[in-house]
Chain A
Amino acid sequence: MAGYKTWQCNNCGWLYSEADGLPEEGIAPGTRWKDVPDDFVCPSCGFAKSNFEMVEI
């Protein structure tokens, strides 16, 4: 799907793909990073959403 981006936790490297979302956490495929709730934490290490950066994979 065009234009979807990937965001990475700068503590542990875990990746959030906008195309895939995170259905097991209630975040549907196609959810843009800006629409991910502000209280989201990295499922791998618990760091806050503000610690993520967009990356090219």
Chain B
Amino acid sequence: MRIPQNIVEAIVDAKSYAAEKPMQDAFTWLRREMPLAVAEPEGVDPFWVVTKNRDILEVERNNDLYHNGDRATVLTSKANDQRVRAMMGGSPHLVRSLVQMDNPDHGNYRRLTQPYFLPQNIKKLEPRIREIAKSFVDRMADKGGTCDFARDVAFLYPLHVIMEILGVPEVDEPFMLRLTQELFGPADPDTNRNRKAEMTEEEALQAIMATVADFVTYFNKMTKDRREQPRDDVASVIANGKIAGQPLGELEAMSYYIIVASAGHDTTSNTTAGALWALAEAPEQFAKLKHDTTGLMAGFIEESIRWVTPVKHFMRTATVDATLRDTAIKKGDWLFLAYPSGNRDEDVFEDPFTFKVDRTLNKHVAFGYGAHVCLGQHLARMEMRILWEELLPRLKQVELAGEPRRTEANFVCGPKSVPIRYTMQ
């Protein structure tokens, strides 16, 4: 079954994700009418669109049946796929991080840094992260009752935390933020490298390559430094790490830095900004959360993650002929895992289009599932908990002071501007 072109447009167009409603309407239609069907946008190889929560879990759980790295891991046009393969010796990937790997490499590379991100390790960081959170809440108080919560707080707080963990000095944080926004917002006029209203596919690819090159130049220096003088940071783990007795490959090491330095904050920023946006629009939810902040905190954080779902899709490739939802999937087929759809699935979530701080049994798929489930999920939750623990007791009232806006992107995106008016104590 082929998906109608108007629906296909709405699930691939970056502007549709910025507006959100066209994208959500399209996925709602698909879940009801064609929960697993083929899309064929112009200039893109056909792919299955996996819209149901249960099917996303099944594909993610069976990571030997459905590989990450055999084809591009994010939606890519045929022309750009050919350009990347021509440059990368036949590989469809510009970088080779955990996201592009399958076993055995994936497990080996993941185990290298996994201990750093486990709950028992990151809890040591809690006092320092609380200091950082307090400083941002103080800064918000000093602003006198209006700010852009996305730009003034949500972008900067997780950035500062992950850069300390990685080992990047504070002076370089604006540079890292800019590169991250260029990487994840190649179609957005406010964030793409050329600051152009419209980018051609080729321009967007060239801009991403230039951004990756900037990251590589920066992290090559860091590798040299950490090999000479290892510290207690993740950069030292990457620089000095060994897989089967050998140092990491150069591409893999650079990719490891890049994924920590980009995905390690942008997703948490998006979720934090989106949560405050939701609270500002729903005073009764804000009041409920204020009334029982401790009791509702864990559920509120999960609901924020479900609500925003900052990672919009990943692609998988079938390694053998398989069956999904009683449908034959052929070896080599490409599958689009639609996380925003899985997180609004009416079969899993009651009243899925309502933000509820007291939602329970929140089986969202925003962190993925299976072997590739988000490495930084415990840190992300802890960062958000600490910020809200510091902010909510002081935040007496909040409302929108303008129209919030989201980044135009179909891979990773969330709010880029959340103007608010508020009272603090």
Contacts and interface: CB of A to CB of B under 8 A. Distances in A.
Interface of A: 8, 11-13, 15, 24, 43-47, 55-57
Contact of B361 (A24, A46, A57): A24
28 contacts: A8-B118, A11-B370, A11-B371, A11-B373, A12-B373, A12-B377, A13-B114, A13-B118, A13-B119, A13-B378, A15-B119, A24-B360, A24-B361, A43-B363, A44-B367, A44-B373, A45-B369, A45-B371, A45-B373, A46-B57, A46-B60, A46-B61, A46-B370, A47-B370, A55-B120, A56-B120, A57-B119, A57-B120
B369 A46 contact: yes
**Residue among A15, A44, A45 with max Cβ neighbours from chain B (10 Å):** A45
Contacts of B373: 11-12, 44-45
A8 B121 CA distance: 13
Given A8-B118, A43-B363, A44-B373, 15 more contacts: A11-B371, A11-B373, A12-B373, A13-B117, A13-B378, A24-B360, A24-B361, A44-B369, A44-B377, A45-B370, A45-B373, A46-B60, A47-B370, A56-B120, A57-B120
Nearest to A15: B119
Interface residues of B, number: 18
Interface in B347-406: 360-361, 363, 367, 369-371, 373, 377-378
Nearest to B118: A13
Interface in B56-75: 57, 60-61
A12 B369 CA distance: 9
Nearest to A57: B120
7 closest cross-chain pairs (CB), A and B: A45-B373, A13-B118, A46-B61, A12-B373, A24-B361, A46-B369, A57-B120
A48 to B, nearest CB: 10
A47 B156 CA distance: 34
Contacts of A43: 363
Contacts of A56: 120
Contacts of B360: 24
Nearest to B367: A44
A7 B5 CA distance: 48
A45 B372 CA distance: 8
Contacts of A45: 369-371, 373
Nearest to A42: B373
Max chain A C-beta neighbours (<10 A), residue from B119, B120, B360, B373: B373
Contacts of B363: 43
Contacts of B120: 55-57
A15 B378 CA distance: 11
Nearest to B360: A24
